[in-house]
Amino acid sequence: MVRFQRGTAVVSSIAVPATSTAPFRQVGRYALFGEIASGGMATVHVGRLMGTAGFARTVAIKRLHPHFAKDPDFVSMALDEARIAARIQHPNVVSVLDVVTTDGEMFLVMDYIHGEALSRLIRVAVRDGGGGAPPRVAAAIVANALHGLHAAHAHQERRRDPPEGLHDAHPDAARRGHGERGGPAVARG
């Protein structure tokens, strides 16, 4: 059940593997675990950075669908967007930490944000008879998403990066009341 209380959605969330006992695929220095979400261009997995001396960090790993990973124009666009997102420091913008290419596949490693996808929160709230998010919550989510988009545009203007990808929005890009900017390469959720 989803309940919106003072701007916060309260739900259960995906369990993040704390150990390497769960089945995983090794991708560079990352362990790739189960799927979090899938869209038209990529699948997002929960992952773990497996560092030296027992250092580990939970991350989100976006794996481009094979036909996009083989398209040089799409790969170039995804890399450009990843470079832009990696340079922006803002609470409403997904941080891209690394890009891994191996065996014809492309993976974007991003900060993992604990929480539920906005689309799921709304779907469950509607199903449970709540009619969706209260207007104040919806307005706060949209405002936060716009703050993230503004940060991306402000960065683009300072750096004179190409604007492609900065206008893309993804309905699952906002979580836990924070509208995080996302696009085809780096959307959260």
State the DSSP code for 132.
S
* Angle (CA) 179 181 186, round 5°: 130
Instruction: Report helix, strand or coil for 48.
Output: strand
Asked whether 3 and 128 are in contact (CB, 8 A), the reply is no
Instruction: Report helix, strand or coil for 77.
Output: helix
Asked whether 126 and 138 are in contact (CB, 8 A), the reply is no
Tokens of 55: 């250092």
Tokens of 2: 């989803």
In sequence order, the β-bridge partners of residue 186 are none
> Looking at 80, 111, 161, 168, which residue is catalytic?
168
Annotated catalytic residue 103: no
Going by their DSSP bridges, the two strands 174-175 and 105-111 should be labelled as unpaired
Helices within the chain (DSSP H only): 66-69, 72-87, 118-127, 135-159
| Count of other CB atoms within 10 angstroms of residue 26 | 11
Catalytic residue set: 168
